[in-house]
Structure 1
């Protein structure tokens, strides 16, 4: 197996500590260097993963250590310059979701990758959830007919409450570094799903508010609605919901698909039947979920697999989808501020 040398630029996104072990499980992958301005995080990388080439600045890391790719787990604003610097040095990059803090920042990242002919992948944790993967496949294949509405609802009680470190929630709660609060952090999932399945909507409506947390610096709840001539998609986010909720609903003219905590449920009426408070006519069926194939079981595996085989990243994880998702989010923020619909 050809060796794959990996760098890590940014350690303040807590997801990094879950992804690095997945990289280590891939034959031939070696983590050869890391960069972060926080000394305790660099020390953690050294102790837990044996990385000795450590730097404060990503640019110094890229100049001093030869590698094949980089995992970017910085704040969303810092990720823009990191990807630009990596692309300029010929490094392929995997960025933990979402792509950036603003549509402008995402466009700079995409432009840099295109200019230097490097590859850029955006990692979405839901892309490796079998129930979500199958739901997206069925919706796109027309298994429930024309999908006229979808709801992607992502919620928990908040990053700090969820046990995130101060390194992580410190920038999540900073609109300059994150772009907003819950709207960017959690509406991003719905924005990516709608962009992957149907491209950018014609118009976007958005609302971001601090509805429950007192003296909170950013929005703790948000909605982003994509509007097409024949479809609406609601991306709903909350940092105050108890208990958590991370599921998707697709409404089609021939049936409904709903993920329910790792399961996928299909309901529909039979031909010539009408369902009106008719629980006996729902024809509720749990869909059997196949195992995800090798190369598509988690983000690190997919990144390395696609680079080694020169295959395209799956649609949900492409830079094109990541950019479109960021444009949808930015349009949602503009809509919230203006009170009007906005074209992404």
Structure 2
């Protein structure tokens, strides 16, 4: 009897080991397959960043591009040696034919909701360029459709992939500079027309119906995203914003300079997004109760702690491989290696970002501070 029991035990153990090995092999095989992505829209100039980055990612395969404008097909097809077979006029048709795992949305901001809703019908996740959309109503609708169809919706900000921002965050998280008291964020450049963005990009970027606002949305969103992340998703008590139209001859319909003030119970953020800087910049100052961390470009950070005689400048550690850029992050999320909760690209973070931006736009319009309450689930 003992021999029979031992044999059965050995058999069950062998079956379990074989199943475990098979499962492990299946996971490795799935991870070895390239992630299939498709582009929706070519009118956002940031699409060039993706197309330029793609050759560095053998783990990502571009399977389709949807845009109704065939002149943009020709422009990008020629510049990046893309075959004609990649291009489709309809997002739905492209998804049906190519079956991507995710779409990368490079439409105007005003078209984000529509593009996400189409992808969701096919169970396809989406990554959009910042900000998430143009209004809180649209953000809540996107959250509903993402939950209903069980898809990921992620937001790509250039500053998410800055090691300096992660280093500043770690200073806060590890309590090396004490509790946050004040954050100041500067973002922007000389202006989209001044730096020569493509005409199809400029057309919608300067249209409030398609961009939500001007510099207030285009560059204010970076600081709002960073502050929401630093504050662990806490909703500010009030939002106050002012905007300027310093170049009405260039931007008659939208603001070109903005300042957003976020008030929390024991902290404040001042976010300056502008098309009027004398040069491009994306930097942040985080002041705690006992020290500060100031980012310098993408990978340098100035730090001073309590009892330090003076500040010191250091190079921030590189980000983990799975978070080194938007494609690595997207791949890790879709493979279940990262849970996008509370981080810079996560949907929950960016719904709060849209609540704040929507309030900032209203504050700038009325000249009054806007009180906020925590959003319900």
TM over 0.5: yes
Q: Which residue of 1 aligns with 2:287?
A: 251
What secondary structure, in the 3-state scheme, does the structure 2 residue paired with 1:246 have?
A: strand
Between 303-312 and 257-266, the greater mean CA deviation after superposition: 303-312
Does the Cα contact within 8 Å between 1:22 and 1:301 map onto a contact in 2? Answer: no
Pair 1:342-2:376 in alignment: no
Contact 2:177-2:306 within 8 A present in 1 as well: no
Instruction: Output one character per residue of 1:93-123: Cα deviation in whole Å (capped at 9) or x when no partner.
Output: 1111111111212222221111100111111
Aligned pair partner of 1:87 in 106, 120, 128: 120
Q: Distance in 2 between matches of 1:25 and 1:80?
A: 29
Counterpart secondary structure, 1:145: coil
Kept in 1: contact 2:40–2:91 (CA 8 A): yes
Q: TM-score, normalised by structure 1?
A: 0.92
Alignment TM-score, normalising by the size of structure 2: 0.84
Q: Is the 8 A contact 1:303 1:313 kept in 2?
A: no
Question: Deviation of residue 310 (structure 1)?
Answer: 4.2
SS at match of 2:192: coil
Cα separation, 2, equivalents of 1:241 and 1:36: 33
Q: Which residue of 2 aligns with 1:302?
A: 329
Q: CA separation in 1, counterparts of 2:306 and 2:34? A: 53
Matches within 5 A, 1:94-133: 94-133=127-166
Deviation at 1:230, TM superposition (A): 0.5
* Shift, 1:133, TM fit: 1.6
> 2: CA distance between counterparts of 1:311 and 1:260?
27
Alpha-carbon distance in structure 2 between the residues aligned to 1:261 and 1:163: 22
**Secondary structure of residue in 2 paired with 1:201:** coil
How many residue pairs align between the two structures? 334
User: What's the offset of the Cα at 1:57?
Assistant: 2.6
Spell out, residue by residue over 1:221-248, the C-alpha distance to the aligned partner (whole angstroms, 9 max, x if none).
0111111111111111110110232110
Is the contact between residue 224 and residue 353 of structure 2 (CA under 8 Å) also seen in structure 1? yes
User: Which structure has the larger Rg over C-alpha atoms?
Assistant: 2
Q: Measured at CA, do residues 209 and 57 of structure 1 come closer, stay the same or move farther in structure 2, by a change above 3 Å?
A: farther
Q: Distance in 1 between matches of 2:250 and 2:322?
A: 44
Map 1:1-344 → 2, pairs under 5 A = 1-47=32-78, 48-51=80-83, 52-198=85-231, 199=233, 200-214=235-249, 216=251, 217-262=253-298, 263-270=300-307, 281=309, 283-313=310-340, 315-344=343-372
Gaps of 5+ in 1: 272-280
- In 1, the alpha carbon distance for the partners of 2:215 and 2:196 equals 16
Give the secondary-structure state (helix, strand or coil) at the position aligned to 1:131.
helix
Task: State the shift of 1:209 in Å.
Answer: 2.0
Whichever structure has more helix as a proportion of its residues is 2
